[in-house]
Amino acid sequence: MPKLGMKPIRKAALVDATITEIGRAGSLDVTVSQIARRAGMSSALAHHYFGSKEQIFLAAMRHVLATHGAEVRGALSAADSARGRLNGIVRASFAASSFRREVIGAWLNFYVLAQTQPEARRLLRVYQRRLHSNLCHALRPIIGAPADHVARGLGAMIDGVYIREALKSGRPDGAAAAAAVLAHLERELGSAGLSERA
């Protein structure tokens, strides 16, 4: 009973299943069959829609990145001050949609994938550039020229905190993670600015 227009539904289901499976397995060593089973279809169908395992992985990665991007954009549009923007970016980086066990595990593995997969590397670079540019933009009005350096360090710290979470055991606490990073930033901005709340 082939319903029409299954393609996007199936693809979305496969992408979700891929993230879940990679997160569960904690590695890219997941079979197409596992992914397909979790998505409720045969492995042949997964191949039919994506062509190869590689493409499935890339689609999953794009999805994670897109979700994160949307989160950041939302936070930015809701902010009305430079400090508010910083707050938003950091908070969005640890927002519930991206800061879940499976997603963190998947993210770490996408980092690995980017070592070998040119397209994966490109995607990760896009993410890093976007993060850096957003941070710079928000920092410049506050500290001026050093914004670039500070943004670079802050970006690294965000990634570091994020990835370290993969090793922890309990539930990921996004709010705490964001607060820790923000506290750092606050200390770094130091005497320059007042510690207002956004």
Binding site for a copy of itself (CB under 8 A): 25-28, 105, 108-109, 111-116, 121, 124-125, 128, 149-150, 152-153, 155-161, 163-164, 166-167, 180-181, 183-184, 187-188, 190-191
76 interacts with, out of DNA, a copy of itself, none, CB within 5 to 8 A per kind = none
Contacts of 44 (CB under 8 A, 6+ apart): none
- Decide which of a copy of itself, DNA, none touches 65; Cβ closer than 5 to 8 Å per partner kind: none
Tell the smallest beta-carbon distance from residue 56 to a copy of itself (Å). 17
* Helix, strand, coil percentages for the chain (3-state, nearest 5): 75, 0, 25
- Angle, CA 151 vertex, CA 99 and CA 173 arms, to 5°: 20
Choose the one of DNA, a copy of itself, none that binds residue 166, judging by a C-beta under 5 to 8 angstroms depending on kind. Answer: a copy of itself
In contact, 165 and 177? CB cutoff 8 Å: yes
- Polymer length of the chain: 198
From residue 35, alpha-carbon distances to 76, 118, 176 in Å are: 34, 23, 32
For residue 60, the minimal CB distance to a copy of itself (Å) is 16
Report the interface residues with DNA, using CB under 7 A.
Answer: 1-7, 10, 30-33, 41-45, 47-48, 51-54
